């Protein structure tokens, strides 16, 4: 089982977002100047709850006449079910000119199955993004991100100049480079308070700013001193904290922290063999009922906004694929990490299917091939269909991404489903990814476990891209409680 791999990528997303939280629209830009003491580096320890899981470094420097650089590096180290995992990413942004406009961005992530890199640069009135994933280089032109150095530094600058006012609302956008979130995101930040706290044992005057990303509906707090130093950031919902620390302290990681056991939703009344469950009813509390996606194998009886009886069926494939609605055509198209039109993917799909035309049989062949040919091995990477095919290993995210790519290549609309599934050994529900495919209606299969019809302990919380998953999965892990009412 892939277990909590997507939570790991959520950690990366939340950390990258939290690192971008102070890209603020320059409401007072014309009257602000950079002070020399704002240049330099800052180390941060990264915590999940009380456990240190990594560290990061941010560097702000002037590298020429009207030219500046902001660079960040991130290292996360933890265990997943006693298996060591590590994540490393590096990013640099360059700003130039009288207005300090961002002219380039360079992001890289080193992965066992293939490095990922993204390079963006201004060309005339456009911004060209070149992405290298699994050795495949693609380029596209987008509108210029319209991000300036003043945008990037406005919260520290305003804090340093005494211009943060409690109650102020700031609207701004940030650009994230790493796939599959390579786009702009809109933010809303509110200055919540000004107070004095103890930081490193010293009374410190600070501002508390809460920032949220509108597209992903996640947020976090920024704590900035009246001297303009960001000393702490808290990613809401995931108990993730980045805290300013000396380098030698920041690098002291808790190597025994296990991400899997930390994020299991406890439930010790479930079946010994979850794979055999065809129907199950659950009492689910602490989760917004409106966030459950529609599914044909799912019914819900609501008791309150965050309490409901949920019943799930392992649904047989008793329907046929006829005409595909226009609204579902996008689930046949490739994505950055679901490379369904790549020659290696299409060739494999042809080999697996061997001229098979029946959609149900196609799904069964693809499900079984992925199950038999992809080694079950935990992966700390972002799930990537093409890289998975080449490496022939991965966890549930890799199995699902490859299966979705093969289904799309065979003419069947498909998307990744994610949520929680019962894990008997862990006595609870853990994050899992599987597949939704359209055969006249949406049905679910699990290529990680060779389940053509996903067993009824699969509780789907979201489907589609990572940007849709973050807030929902974080909310579930944080507050959801699940109790079996019955199963058969």
What does pLDDT average to in each consecutive run of 10 residues of the chain (488 residues)?
34 41 35 67 91 92 92 86 79 91 90 79 92 84 84 83 90 76 80 96 96 79 92 80 95 82 84 94 93 91 94 82 88 93 97 93 96 86 86 90 97 94 90 93 95 96 75 78 96
Does any domain span residue 355?
A: yes
DSSP notation for 46-63: EEETTEEEEEEEEEEEEE
Does any domain span residue 256?
A: no
Does any domain span residue 259?
A: no
The boundaries of the domain holding residue 118 are 5-250
Does any domain span residue 203?
A: yes
CA distances from 391 to 1, 203, 340, 422 (A): 17, 52, 17, 28
Q: Of 250, 276, 305, which residue constitutes the final position of a domain?
A: 250
56 and 178 fall within a common domain: yes
- The residue behind tokens 């277990």 is 3
Return d(Cα 335, Cα 357) in angstroms, integer: 25
299 and 166 fall within a common domain: no
> Would you state the pLDDT for residue 115?
78
Return d(Cα 258, Cα 442) in angstroms, integer: 35
272 and 246 fall within a common domain: no
Q: Of 250, 272, 293, which residue constitutes the final position of a domain?
A: 250
309 and 235 fall within a common domain: no
Return d(Cα 331, Cα 415) in angstroms, integer: 7
Pair of tokens at residue 294: 């529609």
Does any domain span residue 257?
A: no
Give the E-state strand segments of 305-367 in sequence order: 307-313
108 and 158 fall within a common domain: yes
201 and 268 fall within a common domain: no
Return d(Cα 391, Cα 113) in angstroms, integer: 6
- Determine the straight-line distance between the first and last CA of the chain, rounded to whole angstroms: 22
DSSP-assigned letter for residue 5: H
148 and 239 fall within a common domain: yes
183 and 288 fall within a common domain: no
DSSP notation for 378-434: ---SPP-HHHHHHHTEE-HHHHHHHHHHHHHHTT--EEEEEEEEEEGGGTEEEEEEE
> Would you state the pLDDT for residue 466?
67
> Would you state the pLDDT for residue 8?
35
> Would you state the pLDDT for residue 205?
97
215 and 325 fall within a common domain: no
194 and 325 fall within a common domain: no
Handedness of CA 127, 14, 306, 188 (dihedral sign): negative
Q: Of 250, 273, 295, which residue constitutes the final position of a domain?
A: 250
320 and 459 fall within a common domain: yes
Does any domain span residue 356?
A: yes
300 and 231 fall within a common domain: no
Does any domain span residue 246?
A: yes
CA distances from 335 to 125, 234, 326, 466 (A): 26, 31, 18, 12
Omega into 180 within 30° of 0, i.e. cis? yes
């Amino acid at each position: 089982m892939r277990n909590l791999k997507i939570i790991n990528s959520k950690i990366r997303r939340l950390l990258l977002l939290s690192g971008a939280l102070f890209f603020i629209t320059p409401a007072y830009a014309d009257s602000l100047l950079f002070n020399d003491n704002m240049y330099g580096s800052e180390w941060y320890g990264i915590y999940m709850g009380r456990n240190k899981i990594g560290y990061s470094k941010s560097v702000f420097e002037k590298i020429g006449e009207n030219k500046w650089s902001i660079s960040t590096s991130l290292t996360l180290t933890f265990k997943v079910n006693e298996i060591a995992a590590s994540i490393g990413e590096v990013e640099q942004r360059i700003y130039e000119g009288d207005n300090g406009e961002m002219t380039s961005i360079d992001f890289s992530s080193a992965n066992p199955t293939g490095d990922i890199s993204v390079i963006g640069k201004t060309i005339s009135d456009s911004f060209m993004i070149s992405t290298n994933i699994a050795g495949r280089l693609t380029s596209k032109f987008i509108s210029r991100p319209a991000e300036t150095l003043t945008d990037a530094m406005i919260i520290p600058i305003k804090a340093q100049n005494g211009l943060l006012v409690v109650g102020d609302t700031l609207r701004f956008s940030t650009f994230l480079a790493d796939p599959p979130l390579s786009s702009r995101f809109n933010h809303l930040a509110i200055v919540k308070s000004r107070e004095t706290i103890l930081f490193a044992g010293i009374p410190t005057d600070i501002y508390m700013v809460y920032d949220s990303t509108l597209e992903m509906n996640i947020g976090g707090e920024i704590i900035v001193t009246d001297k303009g130093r960001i000393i702490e950031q808290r990613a809401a919902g995931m108990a993730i904290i980045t805290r300013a620390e000396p380098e030698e302290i920041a690098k002291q990681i808790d190597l025994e922290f296990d991400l899997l056991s930390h994020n299991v939703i406890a439930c010790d009344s479930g079946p010994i063999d979850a794979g055999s469950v065809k129907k199950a009813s659950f009492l689910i509390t602490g989760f917004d009922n409106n966030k459950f996606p529609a599914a044909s194998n799912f019914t819900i009886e609501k008791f309150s906004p965050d309490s409901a009886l949920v019943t799930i069926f392992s649904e047989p494939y008793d329907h046929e694929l006829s005409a595909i609605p226009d609204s579902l055509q996008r689930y046949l198209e490739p994505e950055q990490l679901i490379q369904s039109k790549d020659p290696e993917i299409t060739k494999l799909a042809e080999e697996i299917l061997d001229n098979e035309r029946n959609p149900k049989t196609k799904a069964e062949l693809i499900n079984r091939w992925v199950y038999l040919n992809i080694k079950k091995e935990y992966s700390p990477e972002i799930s990537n269909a093409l890289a998975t095919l080449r490496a022939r290993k991965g966890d549930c995210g890799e199995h699902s991404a490859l299966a979705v790519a093969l289904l799309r290549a065979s003419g069947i609309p498909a998307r990744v489903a994610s949520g929680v599934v019962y894990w008997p050994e862990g006595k609870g529900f853990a994050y899992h990814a599987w597949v939704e495919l359209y055969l006249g209606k949406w049905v679910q299969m699990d290529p990680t476990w060779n389940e053509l019809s996903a067993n009824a302990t699969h509780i789907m919380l979201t489907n589609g891209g990572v940007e849709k998953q973050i807030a929902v999965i974080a909310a579930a892990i944080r507050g959801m409680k699940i109790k079996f009412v019955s199963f058969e």
